[in-house]
Amino acid sequence: MAESSDHSGGGNSQSQVIQVPEPQPHPVMEQLPDVEYCINSPPPWPHALLLGFQHYILTLGMTVLIPTTIVPEMGGGHAEKAKVIQNLLFVSGLSTLLQTWFGTRLPTVVVGSYSYIIPAMSIIHAKRYTKYTDPYERFTHTIRGIQGALIISSIFHVCMGFLGIWRFAVRFLSPLSVVPFVTFTGLGLYHLGFPMLANCVEVGLPALIVMVFISQYLNRFISTKRLIYERYGLLFSIASAWLLAQLLTSSTAYNNKPESTQNSCRTDRSGLISASEWFHIPFIPFPWGFPTFNFGEALAMIAASFVTLFESTGTFFAAARYGSGTPVPPHIICRGTGWVGVASMVNGFLGSVTGCTASVENAGLLALTKVGSRRVIQISAGFMVFFSIAGKFGAVLASIPLPIMAAMNCLFFGYVSSAGLDFLQFCNLNSFRIKFVLGLSFFLGISIPQYFVEYFYVKHHHGWFNDILNVFFMSHTTVAVLVAFILDITLSRDDDEVRKDIGLQWWEKFRVYSADGRNADFYKLPCRLNEFFPAL
């Protein structure tokens, strides 16, 4: 851009060129900035307690959803459903403590995994259980079969973790293959978002709108020095939506609605409060009898356990990112997956109906609150254990309509998906090879599972081999990661320039625990246990 200026006396014009500064790219960040409390920095106790309670509330979504889906199919009633929920909640609390103490040491919550639904439903509909006409008798025999399959699959999970087998696979990851790994950990659970919200849209949609408004827009109208609205938006949103659901229920708005609508919308249809005991002992082994074992069913459960390896690993990367930690070293991921396997084994012993995984939604809540503190998660685990024992009190909160929890999932699954996109900053997006790997893995990660969803639900092919295929290929995360991983190691590591394009040169120091001194700050075991169990 040029300007002409006339100078008196000379009559000459002189041109001046205005220099426009070149735009600078955003700097690469190995650790996410603007996290107020990172993994090792706990907030003050009053805030930590509220934040921990908020994480506990969020775990109830998956904890209630899975037994609500499975237990009625088994022939169980409200009392059996309440007991399964309390047992699952107890295992989640205990496993979360073990994970934060001896596992990855990340602020991750351990919850029941939805990936076990298919093999569990296959066991429920097995021919050998159809001969039982009494619903309770069929329930007890069915849950013993599920317990046996869970115990076998958890042994596989424990071996993959504690024997270091999973570490060898994770060490071949690069930032390029981590992108679909973490992104599809969130996106792959889309069916637990708006589709479940739409079961009661008049309650779920307001919950989502209120959540977005409180967390993102309210501070424009009411300014505060602290991040109150973002940090505690979950409590405000659930409370307001729950109150709306209660008002609609009390006003008889659902009296003439279909049964499915009433079950989703009404606040008095869960049956948990009346069926729960005032004091429940959730740590009694085999509450419904000794487990039974079947080879084919165990193989289908092992397939589900294998899928949760991918889901948990993606969640670990997201939690490390939102806790402002360094990318998780392979040995730490392996240690964490081993403890997830222990959680699944305890579920098998205590009569739960699903295995465990790292909670995706709770990792997303770390992003909203900007609090990635390990202590907050440990407090939430304390709430889980307490309310699993204090049955009536826990049942009150567990009766929150599931569409409200689905509204929260829409936000938090999205946060985890965006954590995967963070790793694109280390890749060269001007490379056509990078675009090919990302594009194909993203598309097939959506397309292949969609085919198997239709194949399973429309054609109804049963049997343990079909269950294995369906569990494996209906997982968006598993398909996307395998496609990206295979293409990455076969196409993208020819020379130093290509290694730089996929971010591998930057990634090298995070592939070995001792290569970066910051790793010990986040992942070191307590009580000098690293001396006896050194990280590799």
Q: What is the pLDDT of residue 356?
A: 95
Per-domain boundaries in the chain: 45-422
Instruction: Report the candidate in 123, 324, 371, 98 with the shortest Cα–Cα distance to residue 227.
Output: 371
Q: Are 144 and 297 in contact (CB under 8 A)?
A: no
Helices (H), 75-164: 78-102, 117-124, 135-162
CA distances from 43 to 49, 52, 219, 374, 376 (A): 9, 11, 21, 10, 8
Inter-CA distances, 425 with 25, 26, 186, 505, Å: 10, 9, 19, 13
pTM of the model: 0.92
Report CA-CA distances (Å) from 246 to 239, 400, 503: 10, 10, 52
Q: Which residues, other chains included, contact 535 with Cβ-Cβ below 8 Å and sequence gap of 6+?
A: 329, 331, 332, 335, 513, 514, 519, 523, 524
CA distance linking residue 98 with residue 62, whole number of Å: 20
Residue with tokens 């020095």: 225
- H-helix or E-strand spanning residue 112: strand 110-112
**388 in Cβ contact with 89 (< 8 Å):** yes
Torsion angle of C-alpha atoms 393, 399, 404, 410, degrees rounded to 10: 80
Q: What angle do CA 357, 82, 242 make, to 5 degrees?
A: 85
pLDDT tens sequence for the chain (536 residues): 444 444 444 555 555 777 778 887 888 888 888 899 999 999 999 999 999 999 999 999 999 999 999 999 999 998 999 999 999 999 999 999 999 999 999 999 999 999 999 899 989 988 888 888 899 999 999 999 999 999 999 999 999 999 999 999 999 999 999 999 999 999 999 999 999 999 999 999 999 999 999 998 888 888 777 778 788 999 999 999 999 999 999 998 888 888 888 888 988 877 888 788 888 888 889 999 999 999 988 999 999 999 999 999 999 999 999 999 999 999 999 999 999 999 999 999 998 899 999 999 999 999 999 999 999 999 999 999 999 998 888 888 888 999 999 999 999 999 999 999 999 999 999 999 999 999 999 999 999 999 988 876 556 556 788 888 889 999 999 999 999 999 999 986 778 888 889 988 888 888 888 777 788 889 988 887 877 777 77
pLDDT in tens, 24-77: 788 888 888 889 999 999 999 999 999 999 999 999 999 999 999 999 999 999
